[in-house]
Amino acid sequence: MIPTVFIIGAGLGGLSAAMYLASHGFKVTVFEKNARVGGKMQEFRSKTGYHFDAGPTLLTMPFVFRDLFQSVGRHLEDYLTLTPLKTSCKYFFPDGTTFNAYTNKGKLFQEIRTVFPGLEPSFREYLNYTKKIYAATAQSFIYNPLTFWRLIRQNPLDFLAIDAFSTAHEANSRFFADARFVQFLDRFPTYVGSSPYLAPATLNVIPHVELTFGAHYVQGGIYQLAKAYQKVCAELGVRFCFNTEVTEILLKENQASGVRLKNGESHFCDAIVSNDDAVHTYQQLVNQSSREIISETIFRRWEASCSGFVLCLGVKASHPELSHHNIFFSSNYEHEFDEIFTQKVPPTDPTIYISISAKSDAAQAPDGAENWFVLVNAPYLTEKFDWEKEKKSYRNLIMNRLKQLGFKKLEEQIEFEQILTPKDLQTRFNANLGSIYGISSNSRSAAFLRPANRSPYVKGLYLASGSSHPGGGTPMVTLSGKFAADLLMEDFL
């Protein structure tokens, strides 16, 4: 008999699991509360010709996507075009220094020699250090499901190599005395919604990944990746139910047996893959008796990652000084993260990220115009800040900061604008407390002991999202779906 699998959510993790399971003969149905696939990977198009990727804006580790497509008998390049970028990001420091993070190693070293004279030898040492972290974490923590047996077989020497007892900032400061270069490296833990002053130095594997595997853009917008996943799923016979919200995971003797929908209907299956946020899955979707077996201590360990405040701006002007990806650093990075993670208020002097995909793809904006995706890190939702009341004032704070950075005419150049707040993320995607990346890695336990892909609490329930193993980010979420599918097949075949 062909096993029936329900997948809750059509983000990349859910789609990845659906592709893999369907290719192995499972009968797969995906329930998605929204009208289209992608989860937090979404796009906006204005009537005036501006296009925005309102989610991930950069791809790393392209082999992860190619491997997934190959595993289901497809070629990624038949569905979309990945374009390598010459620079992963252009950095602007408060003292006026600019630094291009070239993806070509030779050009990157030359840029370091020019902008940060004398730091190249230390940077080469740093790259060897991050390479060791990658080698020690790749098989146990990145490219395979994390299981008890895999964990105990880990070479004890690897735990020394991953530098888990320093924070990312402490490790970066050991290599470099220049505060600007440390700030550049401290940015990478934010890729998974964490603070460099709290997260373990193991997250310094992230600069290794970006600097080794490069940065890529998908022609037509990053959302084309989600559409490619959907197309392959459809080819493999996956059934989609859009505008269909799951409100409960049904259990029979602590075995996942089906779902109850918002319209009251119940449907039954052999197993469930939740692409929903892990905390939301356990706190809201499983019934009360199952919630009680998960201690509050565990829930507290699963602290939400940071969120973000987004402005999508259609700008009727050209800014040649900007690249595709740009970072304008704050003057006090440590204070910024203290505001986000300790005080839990939006930063008063935020680091500002601006992505302009029209720099690489002219069709993303009208002639002579640019599509600005402006993102600042923000705390997850608490009672300390009301986004419904304050979003306009915080929008004005960001615009004033951009004006101070030299974009004096920006306000009058805007002909399209859309705002996204942490509250929007919670409402649209069931993101726990509006977090972008699920669970933060602001402690060693959170970094290595994320919710498992095979639920230890509910039989027949598997997790595939940025809040479960191996973590946030487009390639990691794709791997999470693959891991959930692998474990499900171990149990059912």
Angstrom CA distances, 273 to 290, 435, 457, stand at 17, 21, 14
Q: Residue 191 has what DSSP assignment?
A: G
**CB-based contact 245:261 (threshold 8 Å):** yes
Give the 3-state secondary structure of residue 244.
coil
User: What percent of the chain is predicted at pLDDT more than 70?
Assistant: 92
Please report the pLDDT score of residue 297 as a whole number.
60
For residue range 427-472, what is the model confidence (pLDDT) as tens digits? 999 999 999 988 888 876 655 678 999 999 899 999 999 999 898 8
**CB-based contact 370:356 (threshold 8 Å):** yes
Side chain identity, residue 197? Y
Side chain identity, residue 113? R
Measure the CA–CA gap between 205 and 194, rounded to whole angstroms: 14
For residue range 106-116, what is the model confidence (pLDDT) as tens digits? 999 999 999 99
Model confidence, pTM: 0.94
Measure the CA–CA gap between 8 and 267, rounded to whole angstroms: 12
Measure the CA–CA gap between 229 and 10, rounded to whole angstroms: 10
Please report the pLDDT score of residue 433 as a whole number.
94
Cβ partners under 8 Å of residue 181, min gap 6: 116, 119, 123
Confidence of residue 254 (pLDDT cuts 50, 70, 90): confident
Per-residue pLDDT, averaged over 418-431, amounts to: 95
Kindly report the backbone phi and psi dihedral angles of residue 172, in degrees, each rounded to the nearest multiple of 5, phi listed first.
-65, -35
For residue range 331-358, what is the model confidence (pLDDT) as tens digits? 999 999 999 999 999 999 999 999 999 9
Q: Give start and end residues of each alpha helix (H) in 245-386.
A: 278-280, 288-291, 296-301, 333-338
Cβ partners under 8 Å of residue 176, min gap 6: 119, 122, 123, 126, 182, 185
Please report the pLDDT score of residue 240 as a whole number.
98
Q: How far is CA 257 from the centre of its chain?
A: 30
Per-residue pLDDT, averaged over 126-134, amounts to: 94
Tokens coding 311: 């402005």
For residue range 376-404, what is the model confidence (pLDDT) as tens digits? 999 999 999 999 999 999 999 999 999 99
Confidence of residue 28 (pLDDT cuts 50, 70, 90): very high
Please report the pLDDT score of residue 339 as a whole number.
98
Give the helix, strand, coil percentages of the chain, each rounded to 5: 40, 20, 35
Give the 3-state secondary structure of residue 316.
coil
Confidence check: pLDDT of 370 > 90: yes
Tokens coding 445: 């336990």
User: What percent of the chain is predicted at pLDDT more than 90?
Assistant: 83
Please report the pLDDT score of residue 137 as a whole number.
82
Measure the CA–CA gap between 154 and 353, rounded to whole angstroms: 37
For residue range 180-230, what is the model confidence (pLDDT) as tens digits? 999 999 999 999 899 999 999 989 999 999 989 999 999 999 999 999 999
**DSSP run (H or E) holding 477:** helix 474-492
Please report the pLDDT score of residue 305 as a whole number.
92
- Give me the domains of the chain, ranges plus CATH numbers: 4-37+223-301+446-492 (3.50.50.60), 106-214 (no CATH)
Per-residue pLDDT, averaged over 238-266, amounts to: 96
Bridge partners for 463 per DSSP: 274
Beta strands in 194-277 (DSSP E): 216-218, 239-241, 246-252, 255-261, 266-268, 271-274
Please report the pLDDT score of residue 13 as a whole number.
97
Please report the pLDDT score of residue 158 as a whole number.
59
Please report the pLDDT score of residue 489 as a whole number.
96
Place of tokens 């203290």: 338
**DSSP run (H or E) holding 285:** none
For residue range 73-101, what is the model confidence (pLDDT) as tens digits? 999 999 999 999 999 999 999 999 999 99
Tokens coding 137: 């974490």
Per-residue pLDDT, averaged over 135-146, amounts to: 75
Measure the CA–CA gap between 358 and 368, rounded to whole angstroms: 10
Question: Across the chain, what does the average pLDDT equal?
Answer: 92
Confidence of residue 152 (pLDDT cuts 50, 70, 90): very low
Confidence of residue 148 (pLDDT cuts 50, 70, 90): very low
**CB-based contact 339:382 (threshold 8 Å):** no
Confidence of residue 289 (pLDDT cuts 50, 70, 90): low
User: Could you tell me how many residues make up the chain?
Assistant: 493
Bridge partners for 89 per DSSP: 101
* R_g of the chain computed on alpha carbons: 22
Q: ∠ CA(474), CA(478), CA(484), 5° rounding?
A: 145
Confidence check: pLDDT of 492 > 60: yes
Among 114, 111, 120, 109, smallest CA distance to 90 is for 111
Least-confidence region, from 133-137, 157-161, 426-430: 157-161
Give the 3-state secondary structure of residue 101.
strand
Per-residue pLDDT, averaged over 409-420, amounts to: 97
Please report the pLDDT score of residue 154 as a whole number.
56
